[in-house]
A and B are shown apart, each in its own frame.
Chain A
Amino acid sequence: MKTSKILAMAWESMTQRKLRTSLTTLGVVIGVTAIIGLASLGEGFRLGIRERMQEGFELDVLIVIPGSFTAALRDPFTRQEVDSVRNVTGVELVAPLITLPDAKLNNQESEKLNAFTVGAVNFSEMTQMVSDRFVPLEGEIPDSEENDTIVLGYKTCFLNETTRLVNVGENVSMTMEVSGFPINKTFKVSAILVKSGTPGITNFDYWAFIPSKTMIQLFGKEAYNILLVKVSDPEKSDQVADAIEDVFENPYSISILVPIAFMRQVDRILNFVQMFLMAIASISLLVAGVGIMNIMTVSVMERTREIGILKAIGAKSRTVLVMFLSEAILTGLIGGLIGVFTGYGSSYALAYMFSSFMQLQQQDTLFPTPEQQRMTINPVFSPEWTMVALVFAILVCIIFGLYPARKAAKLDPLQALRYE
């Protein structure tokens, strides 16, 4: 019998048992909805987290420090070393920083500023390096050549929400010790940076920046504690990090922080969680499969006489098998297609509800999160997952439909004809 004819007969048989067909299909719809919903929401959630992380960590900026994060194993980087790093393939830009953790900043009224770290930098390099963060809220970022100017992080200027410590144009005095000698220097505030907000490595809210030129003059030498290295392709961060290590005589004496590695790890964890959830969702499809097997077994019993007639007038066992399997496949296909629609539909509805809920929650807090930083989930349409869910639905239907279909195909025509 031609496949088109078999499918037409299967369809006719299904439409004549509407309630039964709809209930069997419903099982598949629920299974596929769960898989698609979780896949698209999970992917959306993952992208959301990735975006957050990209905002928190500049993924294209590697951080190179002498020694480890807890102990300095070697002297700070020299000018030659910085230049060597600049020449590494894949490095777009290097911004060396001199950190002065002991430096204390006071305003004109001798009140202490909230600066935890003072960094000596080249302002124009920093602007290029972290263009999203090194942006003035007030004032202007000075030319690197301009001496005795200071750029303050947002929170440095405030004691609390209402008390402001310093304004642009005012003077700030810095005290520190260099080789046991106290140094006192006055800087003019030229800019206050925008609020970073997102906690990350390159959060400058509690930092103060002075020109490295001023610092080198005070120190009498160039000694950098941190190198910010911008790579041209974040995906190749690992190779660039290896190449930077090779620049140094003892690669073990430096540490390189590769932000994309963190992200990959988080991605892996999210992947695992997503797969776990999808595995649970798949169980519902298996349950639907058992339902199909149950219904089809009953159907074979009910249609025993019909099978007998078909075989008596010349239908081969294979034809009967394909007839019954076609019904299972059609159930899988129709259930799968409806499931794909309801899956995406419900994931968009859930995402909308979740976003609205989050917004309500965020509005209730004392310090509302700015609009652009609110967490939202945008479900992702994935053709791959759609195909996987459809194929899985059809496969489950075939596997569970096979037993009853084989049972039907194996029936003896004469015994089937005599079946009451």
Chain B
Amino acid sequence: MCALLEVKNVKKTYKMGKVLVPALRGVTFNVEEGEFLAILGPSGSGKSTLLHTMGGLDRPTEGEVFIDGINLYKLSDNKLAEIRLHKVGFVFQFFNLLPRLTALKNVELPSALAEDSEKESMEKVKKILNLVGLEERSSHRPSELSGGEQQRVAIARALINNPKIILADEPTGNLDTKTGLEIIQLMKKLNKEKKQTFVIITHDQNIAETANRIIYLKDGLIEGIKEAPKEE
């Protein structure tokens, strides 16, 4: 059986003026369905580049990424957008919510992009806002919400189209420790109860320790992999 997500020898080199800067230098690993994976590394280790490449946001210079058996970078930009819409959910460090839309509208957006009916869309939004504990704050705009609440909205938005995998880029990086932990607990809960696959990127060892597996990344290469002991 093939893994949910396969990263095969992915390399990414950025051009900074005339200088070529390698961000990823050949990364290979798999993500299994229902897994809660953390990628840990210091800043500049290529974590974010790796996450973007895994989610179909950034074409690698070399290598392949498969989601559900689909070779992402053989697809056109439009098809790649469809993958991002239906199979991947993104959670960003700075939440990246649309400031002029309410929490409800922000969560609804991917569903609207997927052309769900208004009724179907609203049912899903209500259910998910309830799941992340934000049903009372749905009519507020991001500027009226706390950091933790904004990140919950972002998680709800990532979940709305029932994606195969959620990729979170430093989801606690912009939150205080307590709120950060709450967000991680929410993700863990979703992972446990909904069998939702998560890949989170962090530079915080404590956050990483909550995962089933940790991939250590340094200078664009995997330095090590640590499996958490199986829960009884």
Interface residues of A, Cβ cutoff 8 Å to B? 1-2, 5, 12-13, 16, 305-306, 308-319, 413-414, 417
Contact = CB atoms under 8 A, between A and B. Distances in A.
B82 interface: yes
Given A16-B100, A414-B52, A414-B58, A314 B110 contact: yes
A314 B113 contact: yes
Contacts of B113: 1, 310, 313-315, 319
Given A1-B112, A1-B115, A13 B57 contact: no
Nearest to B83: A314
Interface stretch (B84-92, B193-201, B208-216): B84-92
B96 A314 contact: no
A156 B105 CA distance: 87
Contacts of A312: 57, 84, 90, 96
Given A312-B84, A413-B57, A414-B57, A317 B98 contact: no
Contacts of A310: 98, 109, 113
B81 interface: yes
A310 B97 CA distance: 10
B141 to A, nearest CB: 11
**Which 8 A-B pairs rank lowest in CB-CB distance, beginning with the nearest?**
A314-B85, A314-B84, A316-B81, A309-B96, A5-B112, A1-B113, A313-B110, A316-B78
Contacts of B110: 313-314
A2 B85 contact: no
A319 B112 CA distance: 11
A13 B114 CA distance: 20
10 contacts: A1-B113, A12-B100, A309-B97, A312-B57, A313-B85, A313-B109, A314-B83, A314-B110, A317-B77, A319-B113
B86 to A, nearest CB: 7
Nearest to A4: B118
B11 interface: no
B157 interface: yes
Interface of B: 52, 57-58, 77-78, 81-86, 90, 92, 96-98, 100-101, 109-110, 112-115, 157, 161
Given A2-B112, A12-B100, A313-B84, 7 more contacts: A1-B112, A308-B96, A314-B86, A317-B78, A318-B78, A413-B57, A414-B57
A413 B96 CA distance: 12
Nearest to A15: B100
B78 A313 contact: no
Contacts of B157: 313
A232 to B, nearest CB: 64
A147 to B, nearest CB: 93
Nearest to B49: A414
B223 to A, nearest CB: 25
Contacts of A309: 96-98
A305 B86 CA distance: 21
Contacts of B52: 414
A315 B100 contact: no
Centre residue among B83, B98, B114 by max chain A CB count within 10 A: B98
B54 to A, nearest CB: 13
A305 to B, nearest CB: 8
A249 B232 CA distance: 122
A306 B100 CA distance: 10
Centre residue among B57, B58, B115 by max chain A CB count within 10 A: B57
Nearest to A315: B113
Nearest to B109: A313
B164 to A, nearest CB: 13
Nearest to A417: B96
Nearest to B77: A317
Nearest to B52: A414
